[in-house]
Every structure is written in C-alpha cells, then in structure tokens.
Amino acid sequence: MSESSLPVTVIGGYLGAGKTTLINRLLAAEHGKRVMVLVNDFGAINIDAQLLESADEDTIALTNGCVCCTMGNDLYMAISDAMKRTPRPDHLIIEASGIANPQKIANTAISDPDLTYNGIVTVVDAENIDDLLADPMICAQVGDQIACADLLVVSKSSDLPIDLRDTLERLSDSEVILADDMQSLLGLTFSDLSSPPKNVLGTHHPTYTQWQYQGDVCLDRNDLKELMLKRPRGIYRAKGFVRSPDGSGWRVQVVGSTISIMPEVSCEQTIMVCIGSTMRFDKSACEAWWAT
Amino acid sequence: MSKITVFKAKKIVTMDPSRSEATHVAVQNGKIIAVGGADCASDLGECTLNDSLADAVLMPGFVEGHAHLMAGAMWKYAYTGFHDRVDPHGILHKGRTDIETVISELTKHERALSPDTPLVGWGFDPIFLPGERLNKGHLDAISTERPIAILYSNFHVMCVNSPALALAGFDEFTEVEGVVMGDNGHPTGELQEMAAMFPILHRLGIDFRSLAQSEQSLRDYGLVSRNAGVTTITDLYSTMTEDDLDEMIRITSEPNFPVRIVPAIGAAGADPEQTAAKAKAWSAKSTDRLRLGSVKLMTDGSIQGWTARVKAPGYVGGQPNGIWNTAPAEIFAMCEVFQREGLQMHIHVNGDEASEVALDALEAAKEKHPENNRRHILQHCQMMDYDQLKRCAEHGASVNMFSNHLWYFGDQHVALTIGEERAERMNAARTALDLGINLAIHSDAPVTPLAPLVTAWCAVNRETMSGRILGEDLQISVDEALYAITLGAAHSLHLEDEVGSIEVGKAADFAILDQNPYEVAPTELNKIAVLGTVLGGGVHRI
C-alpha cells in the first residue's frame, strides 16, 4: 500500500499541558521515521546533546534524521515549506499553540491532496484540567481542544483517576492514554498499517492491535460510507482500498472520527487494515462488522 | 551650513496651538526652522523659495497609528471590491458594484496576463452584492484553462474556477470543511477558511507573508502612504526576521522613500522574554525613517467575525462568545515582561471582555514594575465604554479607536453583532477625550482603506453606509479629529516631539491638500483631495 502523500499529526493542548515534552520524546524515540516537527517556541526544545546533529536559528537536525523547525508567525508558510523539503519527511508533526483549536490545522491536512490526516493528539494536564474547565474565560477553548482530539494523552499523572476519565468522556469519546505510554503513542501514530504491529520499544506485548482483511468485497460509495460509519468504536486508524462494482475502486482513510473516501482509477483487490489500542480494540468485533 | 528652503502655501494649518496658521514654512536639513510669513526665515540665512505648493493647503503629515504592510502589496492582484480605491500609483479603481462588472473587469485583466500566470483577485465582498453568490460558473466564463482565485476582503474566504478546483483535487467526493458544495453535490468554487484555501494558495504560489514582507510591498506601502497624506505609519504586527530588518533599513533609507515606518513586533505565540530581547536589540537599530522597539500583543478576534470576546449579553444572534488568540494568562505574563523591560505595548482589543483583561493585565504589570512609566496603547478599543475608559485614563494609556468601523460595518453591528445600544457607543472617541485620554483613530489598512481624513470624517459624523447616525452624542469636532490623526497619533507613538505638528524643531513632514479642512463642512471632510506629501523637506507629489 504505497502512499505518496505526507502524513500529518497535530499535537494540541492548553499552555503548559506537556506538548513540548511529548514532542521531544517523539523526536528522540526509535521509530525509524524521518519526522519533521513544526513548533511554536524553539527555546523549549531541549534535545539530548548526543542526538543533536546541527542547530541554527530556526532548525534543529537530529542524528536519527528527524528535524525540528520553528513555524514563526506563519503556520501555512511553514507547512508549504515542509511539503517542498528534500528529502521529504516521512511524517509531519505540527504543534498547535496552547490556545489554538487543533482542528483548524488538521483541516489543512484533510483538504490538501498531498497531505494525509493522521489525527489530532491533545495533551491534557491531569493536575489542572479541572481548574481550566471551570474558568469561564477559557473553558470553551480548552473543551474544544479535547472534543476535537482523536487521541487524548494525559500528562503529569501515573494513572488515570476515575474523575478525570469521567471528565474526558463527557467531552470526547476518543481513546485516552497516559503520556508515559510511549509505545501506544508511537504505534498508533507512526505505524504505517502495512505490516504487523512492531515491537516498537522492545517490550514483549504490543499495546496496540491490528486487524486486516484481503479479499473480493465490492461496494459502491454509499454502502462503503455506511459501513465505515458503523465501524467498531475501538478503531483508531483504518486504511484500505475497496473495489467498486464498476471496476474502479475507493481509497479509504479513517482517523478517529474522520472518514475520507476518494475514488481510485483501479483496484484489483480489496484490502482493509485497522489499528487500535489493545485495551479498546476487539478483533472479533472487527470481523463481525466487516462480515455484515 | 546647508541651504534653507522656504515653502509657500495657500494656507498652512500647523496644529500648533501657539500659532495655528501660517503661509510659509522654512526647512533646513529636513527640519522645520521657522513658521510664519514670507520673511519668517530671512534672518536665519540664505533662503530659496519653493512655490510649487503655493496653491495647496499644508497640514502636518498624517500619522496612521494602526495599519499593516500588506496594504500596498495587494495591488499586484486584480481589485474586485465594492468601494472605489486608489492604487499605489494613484490610479482610481471604481468600485465593482455588481457581479457582471466584477467579471467584465476581471476578463479585461485576464487578457493581459501571460499564459502560465494564475488570475488572482482581491477585495471582493459579497455582503454588498445581492443576488447569486459568486461561484465557479462566473469565473469559468473568464477562463476554463487558467486557474482563477478571488480573495474576499476579509481574507477568510475565496472563490475559484474549475481549473483551480482540479489543482486541489476538489470534486464531488471531497468532504472537507469549508469546501462549499452546491445542490448538485459538486463544489461551488467557494472555499471558506484557511484549511480549504490552503491547497489552492500553496499551488498558485500566493503566500500572505511575502505580501507583508517583500521589497515590493514595502515600496507600495510608501506609495499608499503618500497618496493618503501619511508621513508616519505603523506596521502593527511585524513578522520580520533579522534579514528582513536589514532590507527594510536599506530601502527606507533611500533618499526618496516617502514615509516613516513604526513596526511593532508581534508577540503572540513566542516567549515574551525572547520578544523583549529582540525588541530592545532592534530598537538600537532604529533610523530616522524606521522606528523600532515596540511590541504588539493579540487578545481576541473581530466583532464582525463574531470572534471578539464580548461581555454579557454577548452577541445578539446568540453566537457563542469569541476566541482568545492569546490566553488571558499569557496576556498577563507578556504585559509583566514588557512592562519590566520598559517596552511600549500595543494591545489589540476589540470586544469589551478583551479590553477588560488587557486593563487588568496592564494594572497588574504596573503594580509589579512601577519604575517604568512608558505609555502603552490599546488598539481598536471598539467596545470600551465609560468605566473602562476611566481606568484607561487613570492608567495613562492611549487609545487608538477604529472609527472607520462606524461607516463600513456600523449597520452590520446594529443588525447582526452587538445590537443597537452597544453599536451606538462603539468607538467612543467623545468619551475618551472627555476623560482626558490621548486619542488616535485608525483605518487598520488594508481592512479599510488608508485615508486619515476619511477616518476623521467617520469620527466626526458617525454615519453608517445606510446613512444613519450611530451615537450622535459621541461625535467629535473637526478640530479634535484632526488632532487625533496628527498630534494624538504621534503622542501615542512617543513621537510627539518629532512629528504631528508644523512647528520649529520638528521634522518637515507635511500633507499636501487641495482644501483647508477647517473651511469645508464637517460632512465634506472626506472629499478633500490629497495631492501628496513632504517628508523631511522632500516633496512627493502623486
């Protein structure tokens, strides 16, 4: 399943939630990807000196091929530049400002044919989220950041207190993981859905699961759309090619609540791959869903 | 000693309270050395008479306290707006008052373009054009091969033709927020907000930053300033880099560059300590025509976009409250750092909740760092009423009001945004003056056209486009309005000792007018023609 367009993940979350910490870890992790990150504030990126290849006024290059750039005052210029960069990055991560609605940035990835939407990850600070949601000045914007997320990452906590889970469930039905669970984050974000889940950090049990179908299923657009709308809840990302009755086909992309179905000139075989965290993703539910 | 030039005028309106009128002004080394009659400088040395302005009225060069560098650069694209506008070269472009005219003018423009250039238009505003909305059908009638993109006046919406849609792959299968679909399930050509516009902008090479920061945009900014009689202008959210700064110093230092520029560095999204360090370092690089060292803070959005933060009872249509572009906590943190560092702050405040937070933040910062006493300035101030302005007076801050809104959006504010009562007290220049606050008024060009005399007319008459008077009690006098576009604005920028009036010791910066603003009816202020400017003694005729 080759893919020419550039996957984009947007990292959202209020001021001080831990976005920069998360980005530092994504940059430094052993994911084998040439990741490019666009950040607001360069000063906060403290890269381990051993990983540092070079740094100038607005770019840090790492020995693992990753690059971190400031986006200055013009996010869209920075995205444009990233798309023209050679060698082209394997994955683009954009840090939304602490006050921004990440959906607006994500919409760019949804709309541009050379970009692929890969989800909004919103970081939630376990220590102060209740105060923020009680502040009439800011609660609506903080709530929107959570509501638009495909994946919620809870920082500054070693577990997920029941009160916090309830709060987040009230605002979003997206998956919640802890910031310390890097394996889930890396797997859900970077896995290219073309090979079985890798053991990213070298532990024995992957914390995310993949389900795959290959066969002759043939659907028109409306039926396909309806089927995708009924997908099991635990699917975080899905990707596939589906044959159409007229001999052409459809390219399907799902991230969180976003579904994209675009025509393909030809499609010889239907392929569908779904991924989700082991906690929420049930392969048998997938089988049952697809069988309908 | 360099020579003295004495300019003769029909009348010189000085704005200097100690000598309000004159007929001659003597200039040496770019500075005013005498003001009065024909012999005002005769005992100061050898004088050369310049009578090229003898038929004109001179005023101090106008000071525009809130505009953006982009104002000149848009003219590289085809104008499609409803109102008459003058381009940087002084050519009048009549407003396109119906879709047919928009299309026929664009068609003329298209015929002159080279084959591989996209056709880009700007300034279109459907709010003024009843009937069918602009769509790809209209634009396909111009060309079905050349990509066409028409940017709307608010920069949040555009309309494109079929070849442009194809470039971005937008078709009946597209499900993207902002890509408007017609009844037939195909895109209409209208694209709303940046995410939907980006694929086209990216592919047609339109980037807003180069419109704001390029050699051409800077030169055009000089020309639009000259055309409006403006000799000192701000760039109120500068995104320039170190390289841009060198270029800007080089160009503004050319002998014939026609305007002084006061950029305020944008502070949103960055560490305030870094912004402060940059502002201070750049302040030391200031030149005669480029004045650095101030910073611009964002708070909320715009009232007409329903993104301003307004206090109860909120928007009359029940829209949710607006959005913060900078969180209140960040506004407090930034104010504290900039106050500590003694930097002047321009703070954008449209809604009354935003102005309240800005006042709270300024007061908190001043309490922590009372040793610095630099006047700050609240920008737009559209919904500030008596209680907030009183606090502003106590704090010693200036206000720069968006008086042009009364004409351009006043009717919309009554009907659609904040309703009649609050619309009537918008941009309360009268209240500010009664409280003794230093007042400036502005255009926010290119949002509305740069034309300080029109801005003055708006503040004096408070008339809307439909002809109603919005808040008659808040009208100000012609004298007060002229003060606001000269000395008031100069004072707000800490330049009152250098520009803003025609008096000895100040820069020889003049607006050249065809009539004396004190001798026309207050309702005719906007009809006075600007013939050019004088900057530091150099004449720039249109």
Condensed to tens digits (0 to 9), the pLDDT of residues B194-247 reads 889 999 999 999 887 778 788 989 999 999 999 999 999 999 988 888 889 999
Banded model confidence at residue A70, pLDDT cuts 50, 70, 90: confident
- Asked if A13 and A98 touch (Cβ cutoff 8 Å), the reply is yes
Banded model confidence at residue A73, pLDDT cuts 50, 70, 90: low
Alpha carbons B532 and B538: distance in angstroms, whole number: 11
Which class would CATH give A208-291?
alpha beta
The Cα of A204 is separated from the nearest Cα of chain B by a number of Å equal to: 40
**pLDDT at residue B396 in the model:** 92
Show residues of chain B in contact with A44, CB under 8 Å.
271
- Asked if A92 and A38 touch (Cβ cutoff 8 Å), the reply is yes
| Span B320-348, average pLDDT | 96
The Cα of A74 is separated from the nearest Cα of chain B by a number of Å equal to: 7
Please classify residue A245 by burial: count the beta carbons closer than 10 Å to its beta carbon, then call 0-12 exposed, 13-18 middle and 19+ buried. Answer: exposed
Condensed to tens digits (0 to 9), the pLDDT of residues A108-124 reads 999 999 999 999 999 99
Mean of pLDDT over chain B: 95
CATH code for position B79: 3.10.310.70
Alpha carbons A202 and A210: distance in angstroms, whole number: 18
Residue A242 or residue A28, greater confidence: A242
The verdict on B339 and B196 lying in the same domain is no
Q: Do B196 and A107 touch (CB under 8 A)?
A: yes
User: What single string gives the DSSP state of each residue in A89-150?
Assistant: PSEEEEEPPTTS-HHHHHHHHHH-TTEEEEEEEEEEETTTHHHHHH-TTTHHHHHHHHHT-S
Mark residue B196 as left, alpha or beta (left: phi above 0; alpha: psi -120 to 50; beta: remaining). Answer: alpha
The verdict on B433 and B321 lying in the same domain is yes
Banded model confidence at residue A205, pLDDT cuts 50, 70, 90: low
The verdict on B362 and B459 lying in the same domain is yes
**pLDDT at residue B5 in the model:** 97
Q: Domain count of chain B?
A: 2
Instruction: Dig out the tokens for A220 from the structure.
Output: 């028109």
Side-chain half-sphere CA neighbours of B145 within 13 A:
7
What are the residue boundaries of the structural domains of chain A, listed by start? 6-190, 208-291
Percent of chain B at pLDDT exceeding 70:
100
Closest CA to B263 of B287, B233, B304: B233
Chain B residues within 8 A (CB-CB) of chain A?
A: 168-170, 173-179, 193-196, 198-199, 201-202, 207-209, 237, 239, 241-242, 266, 268-271, 274, 320-321, 323-330, 353, 357
**pLDDT at residue A201 in the model:** 47
**pLDDT at residue A62 in the model:** 87
Q: Do A261 and B207 touch (CB under 8 A)?
A: no
**pLDDT at residue A196 in the model:** 53
pLDDT exceeds 50 at position A2:
no
pLDDT exceeds 50 at position A18:
yes
Number of Cβ within 10 Å of residue B275's Cβ equals 23
Considering just the CA atoms, what is the radius of gyration of chain B in Å?
A: 24
Domain assignment present for residue B117? The answer is yes
Number of Cβ within 10 Å of residue B100's Cβ equals 10
**pLDDT at residue A206 in the model:** 63
β-partners of residue B400 are B379, B440
CA-based end-to-end distance of chain A: 24
| Span A17-32, average pLDDT | 89
Q: Do A137 and B198 touch (CB under 8 A)?
A: no
The verdict on B86 and B172 lying in the same domain is yes
Per-residue 3-state assignment (H helix, E strand, C coil) for B331-395? HHHHHHHHHHCCCCEEEEECCHHHHHHHHHHHHHHHHHCCCCCCCCEEEECCCCCHHHHHHHHHH
β-partners of residue B371 are none
Choose the closest CB to B209 out of A77, A107, A261. Answer: A77
**pLDDT at residue B153 in the model:** 85
Fold of A6-190: Rossmann fold (3.40.50)
pLDDT exceeds 90 at position B316:
yes
Show residues of chain A in contact with B208, CB under 8 Å.
74, 76-77
β-partners of residue A262 are A251
Q: Do B323 and A260 touch (CB under 8 A)?
A: no
Interface contacts A/B by beta carbons within 8 Å: 104
Q: Is B433 in a helix, a strand, or coil?
A: helix
**pLDDT at residue A281 in the model:** 85
**pLDDT at residue A42 in the model:** 73
Q: Which amino acid is at A3?
A: E
Closest CA to B244 of B231, B225, B263, B260: B263
Condensed to tens digits (0 to 9), the pLDDT of residues B70-86 reads 888 888 899 999 988 88
Domain assignment present for residue B381? The answer is yes
DSSP A251: E
**pLDDT at residue A202 in the model:** 45
Structural domain for B425, as ranges: 270-500
**pLDDT at residue B486 in the model:** 98
pLDDT exceeds 90 at position B434:
yes
Residue B305 or residue B514, greater confidence: B514
Q: Do A112 and B269 touch (CB under 8 A)?
A: no
Instruction: Dig out the tokens for A89 from the structure.
Output: 């990055």
- Asked if B299 and B358 touch (Cβ cutoff 8 Å), the reply is yes
DSSP A159: S
pLDDT exceeds 90 at position B62:
yes
* Cβ partners under 8 Å of residue B142, min gap 6: B103, B106, B107, B110, B119, B148, B161
Q: Is B193 in a helix, a strand, or coil?
A: helix
Mean of pLDDT over chain A: 88
* Cβ partners under 8 Å of residue A262, min gap 6: A250, A251, B173
| Span B424-436, average pLDDT | 98
**pLDDT at residue A87 in the model:** 86
Banded model confidence at residue B440, pLDDT cuts 50, 70, 90: very high
pLDDT exceeds 70 at position B21:
yes
| Span A19-39, average pLDDT | 90
Domain assignment present for residue B230? The answer is no
Residue B153 or residue B517, greater confidence: B517
Q: Do B327 and A108 touch (CB under 8 A)?
A: no
Condensed to tens digits (0 to 9), the pLDDT of residues A127-168 reads 999 999 999 999 999 999 999 999 999 999 999 999 999 999
Poorest-confidence range of A44-58, A67-81, A91-105, B47-61? A44-58
pLDDT exceeds 90 at position B447:
no
CA angle B141, B142, B148 (to 5 degrees): 115
Q: Do B357 and A137 touch (CB under 8 A)?
A: yes
The verdict on B291 and B172 lying in the same domain is no
- Asked if B378 and B395 touch (Cβ cutoff 8 Å), the reply is no
pLDDT exceeds 80 at position A223:
yes
Q: Which amino acid is at A285?
A: A
Which ipTM did the prediction report? 0.84
Condensed to tens digits (0 to 9), the pLDDT of residues B471-508 reads 999 999 999 999 999 999 999 999 999 999 999 999 99
Considering just the CA atoms, what is the radius of gyration of chain A in Å?
A: 19
**pLDDT at residue B1 in the model:** 59
Identify the closest residue of chain A to B311 by CA–CA distance.
A137
Show residues of chain B in contact with A99, CB under 8 Å.
323-327, 330
Instruction: Dig out the tokens for B534 from the structure.
Output: 């004088």
Show residues of chain B in contact with A110, CB under 8 Å.
176-177, 195
- Asked if B469 and B461 touch (Cβ cutoff 8 Å), the reply is yes
Choose the closest CB to A41 out of B202, B271, B353. Answer: B271
Alpha carbons B190 and B124: distance in angstroms, whole number: 12
Q: Do A76 and B193 touch (CB under 8 A)?
A: no
Alpha carbons B158 and B197: distance in angstroms, whole number: 7
Q: Is A67 in a helix, a strand, or coil?
A: strand
Q: Do A140 and B320 touch (CB under 8 A)?
A: yes
**pLDDT at residue A101 in the model:** 93
The verdict on B359 and B433 lying in the same domain is yes
**pLDDT at residue B457 in the model:** 98
Among A99, A111, A135, A253, which would you mutate to test the B interface (most chain B Cβ atoms within 10 Å of its Cβ)? A111
Identify the closest residue of chain B to A44 by CA–CA distance.
B271
**pLDDT at residue B286 in the model:** 97
